[in-house]
């Protein structure tokens, strides 16, 4: 039997025109993101607290069935010039996360965390807790210039907190038979 699955990759390159690190609040930076497969990259806008659209992926890599209907394995590339502290963080995640949680839920979870590492763990924990498909869940959070101001924009994590709490309670409810 031949393997009929695919593969996936997301690559992010952050560069600055000066020696100032990309995570410094005064740094101008350029972000280049390339996708192949079903991973996702999400930016949190510092001023609004919202997930920034436009970095999502729509490509297949190694998926024979998708190629037959014309889905391309060519990487999708996006370039974004970022002003100082325009974005709080970048999230790279697998479909085990993005297939379970919305972009805004992911952003709101990270905004609640004290560190990018904790944010990534919290995202993976919730995704695996409420998922019913058993897919693997991977998440990486990269601190950007607006990290210290990540909770200032929008509703903070209140935007999706009630929904996340409800989804967690449903997933853990023994009467639902999901666990």
Collect all residues with Cβ–Cβ distance below 8 Å to 39 and sequence separation of at least 6: 8, 9, 10, 57, 92, 93, 94, 95, 98
Distances (CA, A) of 64 to 2, 33, 37, 68, 76: 11, 24, 12, 6, 18
| Tens-digit pLDDT profile for residues 70-83 | 556 677 889 999 99
- Which helix H or strand E contains 33, and what residues bound it? strand 29-36
| Tens-digit pLDDT profile for residues 97-115 | 998 999 999 999 999 999 9
- CATH of region 9-176: 3.60.40.10
Burial class (CB in 10 A: 0-12, 13-18, 19+), 27: buried
Which residues, in sequence order, are bridge partners of residue 78?
33
Give me the residue spans of the domains in the chain: 9-176
Q: How confident is the model at residue 176 (pLDDT cuts 50, 70, 90)?
A: low
């Amino acid at each position: 039997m031949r393997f009929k699955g695919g593969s996936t990759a997301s690559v992010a390159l952050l560069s600055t025109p000066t020696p100032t690190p990309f995570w410094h609040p005064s740094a101008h930076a350029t972000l280049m993101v390339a996708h192949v497969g079903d991973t996702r990259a999400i930016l949190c806008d510092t001023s609004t607290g919202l997930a920034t659209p436009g970095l999502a992926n729509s490509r297949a890599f190694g998926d024979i069935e998708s190629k037959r209907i014309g889905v391309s394995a060519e990487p999708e590339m996006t370039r974004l010039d970022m002003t100082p502290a325009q974005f709080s963080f970048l999230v790279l995640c697998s479909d085990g996360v993005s297939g379970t949680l919305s972009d805004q839920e992911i952003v709101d979870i990270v905004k609640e965390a004290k560190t990018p590492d904790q944010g990534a763990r919290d995202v993976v924990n919730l995704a695996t807790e409420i998922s019913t498909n058993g897919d693997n869940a991977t998440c990486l959070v990269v601190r950007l210039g607006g990290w210290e101001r990540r909770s200032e924009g929008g509703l903070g994590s209140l935007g999706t907190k009630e929904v996340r709490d409800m989804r967690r309670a449903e997933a853990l409810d023994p009467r639902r038979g999901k666990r």
